[in-house]
């Protein structure tokens, strides 16, 4: 089956289902809508009517972008879906834009393969 890639917001029901399949923290419908509205760019991957991947970025549109909520259903991993989501998310943006993200340990190899390098002097403050 071919994958169709779309730009823009997605419905929260398929997104909640994808998040659960990818072991992301459960969020309510209102929280998911806020995440999507707060993103400057959203790219989704669809196998027919099923959402199988998503990536979003928060950005000023000129200098910095924070990549967030990158997920691909386990049955579609290692088939180029994540790579294509990231390519579509970043292509066509200003040449000098700095892309940053916080990755799970098991995703470091993937991000390294698409050009991300470990950052120094990164600060983190967790949720209270």
Give domain status of residue 104, yes or no. Answer: yes
Residue 124's pLDDT is what? Answer: 75
**CATH code of 46's domain:** 3.40.630.30
Give domain status of residue 16, yes or no. Answer: yes
Q: Which two tokens stand for residue 14?
A: 């398929």
pLDDT at residue 10 greater than cutoff 90:
yes
Give domain status of residue 105, yes or no. Answer: yes
Residue 126's pLDDT is what? Answer: 76
Give domain status of residue 128, yes or no. Answer: no
Domain extent at residue 15: 4-113
Give domain status of residue 25, yes or no. Answer: yes
Q: Which two tokens stand for residue 32?
A: 């998911």
48-107 tens-digit pLDDT: 999 999 999 999 999 999 999 899 999 999 999 999 999 999 999 999 999 999 888 989
Give domain status of residue 121, yes or no. Answer: no
Give domain status of residue 125, yes or no. Answer: no
Give domain status of residue 118, yes or no. Answer: no
23-55 tens-digit pLDDT: 999 999 999 999 999 999 999 999 999 999 999
Query: Domain tally for the chain?
Result: 1
Say how far apart CA 128 and CA 33 lie, in whole Å. Answer: 22
Tell me which residue of 15, 14, 63, 72 sits closest to 40, measured CA to CA. Answer: 63
Q: What is the 8-class DSSP label of residue 113? A: H
């Amino acid at each position: 089956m071919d994958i169709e890639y779309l730009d823009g917001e997605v419905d929260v029901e398929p997104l909640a289902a994808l998040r659960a399949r990818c072991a992301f923290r459960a969020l309510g419908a209102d929280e998911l809508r806020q995440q999507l509205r707060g993103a400057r760019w959203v790219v989704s991957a669809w196998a027919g009517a099923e959402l199988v991947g998503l990536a979003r970025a928060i950005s000023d549109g000129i200098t910095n972008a924070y990549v967030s909520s990158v997920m691909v259903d386990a049955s579609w991993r290692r088939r180029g879906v994540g790579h294509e989501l990231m390519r579509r998310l970043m292509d066509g943006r200003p040449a000098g834009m700095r892309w940053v993200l916080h990755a799970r340990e098991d995703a470091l190899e993937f991000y390294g393969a698409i050009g991300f390098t470990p950052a120094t002097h990164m600060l983190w403050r967790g949720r209270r």
